[in-house]
Structure 1
Amino acid sequence: MPGPVFLEGDTVTLRPVEEEDMEFVQRVMNDPAVWRPALDVNPMNDNLTTEFFETVLTTEEDVHCLVCQEDQPVGHVSLSESRYGPTETSRARSAELAYWIAPEHHGEGYGSDAAGRMVEYAFVDRNLRRLEAHVGGFNDASAALLESLGFEHEGTQREAAWYQGEYHDMLLYGLLRSEWREDG
């Protein structure tokens, strides 16, 4: 059973990730429909799952939530420190948005609802000024989700990703709080 509700969306709730949720996280992160687009090519066994929980999902710097629909986990959404490091990120009030939804729930709007709630939380509750997201150029669905939330394509890293036997561009998307509309 997922933890207590942290944020409530229209169709999903966002809850803290608990140790009991790691079976779901491990199952989905080992699904090729998730790890390939996420560009995470290594399998996740029990030891790596435990390490991921302890060193990534439970840090104080980042926000990781289980995306749930009627108390059933369907995905994950997070805000993470920017790659520029905590000192620079704190001054810039910036974070990276990331998400995945279990393949059996793709196309149901859960990713949009979860990401939208996390964007609102980032700007309203955490007083962040900027969000960014990185998407493989092959991932049209994820790019469309970001654009539907108001994110702008800010740049392209040419052939920076290896996906299913070919090099692809990585796309950088960004959203400033001043551009964000709370009503969607």
Structure 2
Amino acid sequence: MPGPVFLSGDEVTLRPPEREDLDAIHEWMNDPRVWRPALDSKPMNAELGEEFFKNVLTTEDGVQLLACVDEDPIGHVSLTGTQYGPTATDRARGRELAYHLDPEFHGRGYGTDATSTLLQYAFEDLNLRRVEANVGAFNDASIALLESLGFEREGARREAAYYRGDYYDMLTYGLLREEWDGSD
């Protein structure tokens, strides 16, 4: 039985990860359509999946939620400290947004609904001032999702991402609370 719903979007619900979700998480993290764009090129076995569950998905260091359709998990969305560390982000009231969906559910609006729902929570409930996201310049779908939600491109770390044999810029996108249109 999955855990309780924490947030509800139009198409998806967001809930905390549970141990019974490890099989789905394990599958996603070993699917090249997920790990290549996420730039995480190491395989995850069951033991590493358990460590990821304990050390990342079930700590109080950030907000980690599974996007679900009809109670079945289809992806992961999170708000965590930024590259500048938790102290700096606490003072600036900012967090980093990250997300991925099972590729079988791409192109249906679920990613937009999940991230939009999490952004509403970030600005209205956590009282964040800004949310940022980092994405490889090769990842057109993720860039389109961020821009559709009002994120502005703030900069690039030149050739900081290695993807499928080539170097790409890592793009930083940001969204301020006053720019957020929660009506989406």
Shorter-chain TM range is over 0.9
Deviates more, 1:162-171 or 1:79-88: 79-88
1:64-79 superposed matches below 5 A: 64-79=64-79
Task: Please give the alpha-carbon distance, in whole angstroms, between the structure 2 residues aligned to 1:97 and 1:20.
Answer: 24
Whether contact under 8 Å (1:2, 1:73) holds in the other structure is no
Whether contact under 8 Å (1:5, 1:15) holds in the other structure is yes
Percent of aligned pairs sharing the same letter: 62
Structure 2 match to 1:40: 40
1:76-115 superposed matches below 5 A: 76-115=76-115
Scaled by the length of structure 2, the TM-score of the pair is 0.98
| Aligned AA (1:181) | D
| Aligned AA (1:44) | M
Tell me the secondary structure at the aligned position of residue 88 of structure 2: helix
| Aligned AA (1:48) | L
What is the RMSD of the two structures over their aligned residues, measured on CA atoms? 0.7
| Aligned AA (1:159) | E
Q: 4+ residue runs of structure 1 moved beyond 6 angstroms?
A: none
1:180 aligns with 2:156: no
| Aligned AA (1:22) | L
| Aligned AA (1:95) | R
Tell me the secondary structure at the aligned position of residue 112 of structure 2: helix
Offset of residue 177 of structure 1 = 0.3
1:1-184 superposed matches below 5 A: 1-184=1-184
Task: Please give the alpha-carbon distance, in whole angstroms, between the structure 2 residues aligned to 1:69 and 1:2.
Answer: 12
Tell me the secondary structure at the aligned position of residue 40 of structure 2: coil
1:140-173 CA-to-partner distances (Å, cap 9, x unmatched) read 0000000011000000111100000110111100
Task: Please give the alpha-carbon distance, in whole angstroms, between the structure 1 residues aligned to 2:68 and 2:125.
Answer: 21
| Aligned AA (1:141) | A
Offset of residue 89 of structure 1 = 1.1
Task: Please give the alpha-carbon distance, in whole angstroms, between the structure 2 residues aligned to 1:83 and 1:173.
Answer: 13
1:53-110 CA-to-partner distances (Å, cap 9, x unmatched) read 1111111120000100011111000000112122111110000000000011110111
Scaled by the length of structure 1, the TM-score of the pair is 0.98
| Aligned AA (2:71) | D
Whether contact under 8 Å (1:81, 1:96) holds in the other structure is yes
Whether contact under 8 Å (1:5, 1:14) holds in the other structure is yes
Deviates more, 1:163-172 or 1:83-92: 83-92
Offset of residue 2 of structure 1 = 2.5
Task: Please give the alpha-carbon distance, in whole angstroms, between the structure 2 residues aligned to 1:64 and 1:2.
Answer: 15
Tell me the secondary structure at the aligned position of residue 42 of structure 1: coil
